[in-house]
Amino acid sequence: MSGFSEYNKMISKQQYEAQLQHIFRLLLENRTQEEIARELNISTRTVARYSSRIDKRYGEIQRQKNDDTLFLECHLFKNRMLNLYKALENKVCDDKTSGVEKARCAEVAADIATQIVKLESEGIRAVKELGLSAKSLANKNTNINNLRNDNDGKSFKEYDLNRKF
């Protein structure tokens, strides 16, 4: 039998979980494996095994949270860009705007449109690389749509980037 199996037999599941949580707290305090082993009077190999278990248990959860946060921030940024694009479009269509100002606004709007297209293509590439399931992506889009209300209660609208001023 391996040493790990014998060790697991010596302690109960509750003791194991308590030890795991204790080691997790010490790791969060930036303690080294050697320091933890000395403090708990266990071997550094045991601390390494616990650390591995902790990483398996909590690491994937944290990575998913990071991915979700990035996904949300990208969508919020895209919506801000679309709002700016719309404001520039309104400025160009306004009769009170001078020709020079209309040209500048149209140039900035074209740059924004290009950046939005790049952002969208990067998002598609990232989704393909991550291999996100359609269900997972649909859930994220639902969450984004729920957050798309501005202060006036109006919904953000998606604008056709090829639309003429």
Q: Which residues does residue 149 pair with via DSSP β-bridges, in sequence order?
A: 155
Structure tokens at 109: 């709007």
153 part of a folded domain: no
Q: Which residues does residue 155 pair with via DSSP β-bridges, in sequence order?
A: 149
Query: DSSP class of residue 155?
Result: B
For residue 32, what pLDDT is reported?
Answer: 92
In angstroms, the CA 80 to CA 107 distance is: 18
Query: Are residues 75 and 117 located together in one domain of the fold?
Result: yes
Structure tokens at 119: 């952002």
Query: Are residues 100 and 50 located together in one domain of the fold?
Result: no
For residue 47, what pLDDT is reported?
Answer: 92
pTM above 0.75, yes or no: no
pLDDT beneath 50, residues of the chain: 1, 148-161, 163-165
What is the residue range of 21's domain? 3-58
Query: Are residues 75 and 142 located together in one domain of the fold?
Result: yes
- Alpha-helical regions (H) of 29-98: 33-40, 44-54, 60-93
Query: Are residues 132 and 72 located together in one domain of the fold?
Result: yes
Query: DSSP class of residue 131?
Result: T
